[in-house]
Structure 1
Amino acid sequence: MSHTSTLKRFNPDNSSSSTHRIRDVFPPGLDSSSSKSIPGRSHYTLAPDQLYRTLTSYEPGKHVESILVKSAWYGKQSRLAKQEFIVIHVEDIAIKGLTNYIALDRSTSAPSSIFSNLIPHSRLRFHGEMARDAFRVAYDGDEEQLLHECNLDPHECLEQLEFHADEPLLLYQLSTLVYLISERYPEYGVADLNGCWFARLIWECMRQVRPRAKLTHDGQSARKRGKLGWVRPVPDSAEITTICQAFNQTTQILESELSESKNVSANNVPLDWELTDLVPIF
């Protein structure tokens, strides 16, 4: 199974909506006029709470309901660390040709962009190191370059999900799911030595909340996922159920409030609340 992409440059002249795109998700490097060779240009690293708040704070012209997770694949680094991670392919269907790749993982590696200082310092846990849950956003839409920059090469793709158009997974919904997991399980422990428990919990929750998504695998993914030597940390069904219930509750509230905020904005009434305060307490 191949997950290698064909790089497709976005032409901002193709859409009058380009000025409203969310640049934390679709950076300037995606523009056809941008150069891939600009020194120092690398992926963006966003903490789960930062991406969640970016996508759920309403602004006129901001169309988060059109940003879809087209597909996702579960990867495992082939080197000694055996880091496990998820890569998602996102698309803003309101802007023609606008797609990008985002890697999602938990690690203790040093942040690689100026956005990383937003990761909470309260996450200082395992052996004095900070557990970093992060969305790593490709600067120019190059999937392989993103994985190289994140030190996730070489790697293998174990499983892949493709989401149905009539049962989509929106990026703001996925960011909500990851935010809930990150906040509920902030500690970096033995089970997360290669990020496998964190990645697997997210993956199983994605499958549960979107059961019609098409799953493909290499035939040995169940044996390979989560294995690090003799250790095989596995999220239990109760953990998955708890997270999915919180996800469903939260996204229902967000959908309602996003709709209300649009109506309020259309009538030029100032908002006196923020969506980011709506995450339920477990």
Structure 2
Amino acid sequence: AYDPRFSELRNYCLLIEFKKPPAGEVMKHLKRICEREGIQAEENALKFIAQRSEGDVRSAVNDLQALAQGKKRLTYEDVSWLGYRDRQETIFNVLRMIIYGRTCMGAKQAVDMADVDIDMLFEWIYENVPAHLTDPHDLARAMDALSMADVYRGRIRSTQDWSFTRYVIDYMTAGVAMARQNTKPGGWIPFKFPARIQMLSRSKAERAMQLKIGYKIKNKCHISANRASKEILPYLKIIFRNNTEMASGLTKWLDLDQDMIEYLSGNKKE
């Protein structure tokens, strides 16, 4: 509005400023959606999504839909591994250009729009191709292309020869786009976050929890936290799941918090 070219026009206009809603308002909107959809969402999870949206309500709703797809409970662990919101919005557009691309060049150019690296983009494509290519022959061609891309990814890791990257991009973009020959356009199909990345994230969170408990044991038993988490923690799990009285005593002795107790007793919800 303040472009010098529009200075004369601005004199005849009523300027109305539309401010971005604060994260708190976005969070309230997300909470209302979860209540209507019957989704139990942790406060921290919704707060994380709201803050990452940077005032873009539509983007926050898109994130919530993608993250909560098929779930009745959304935890902070489900969202904490994500990057900034603009990365997610961009990846959806990139996936459409690749999976529904009509030319090799158009599909390959989509990589330049991505705010994720090649390995992460590969995971996104690998996760979503089966849902969007319903014809078995199309799917087979796409997976063959992805397998070749993965072969070259392996060669890059083993040789550190990054010139193979162009082959990775060719197979995972143009190869997938040209695989679509018989699949008929259907209804709207949402894009899903890569399950393998989520699994690694949960595994990382579990290891972090084990190490936290290991430090509690270390302070009492004077052994390393790593050794405690590997050698003693498995027995703690057995105790917490079979002997509530002994578990109560150990909780006080080790000064365990609620998250640690839930983890050891097996009551921590995914």
TM bucket, shorter chain? under 0.3
User: Which protein is richer in strand relative to its size?
Assistant: 1
Query: Normalising by structure 1, what TM-score?
Result: 0.26
Structure with greater Cα Rg: 2
More helix by share: 2
- Higher RCO (CA 8 Å, separation ≥ 6 residues): 1
TM-score (norm 2): 0.26
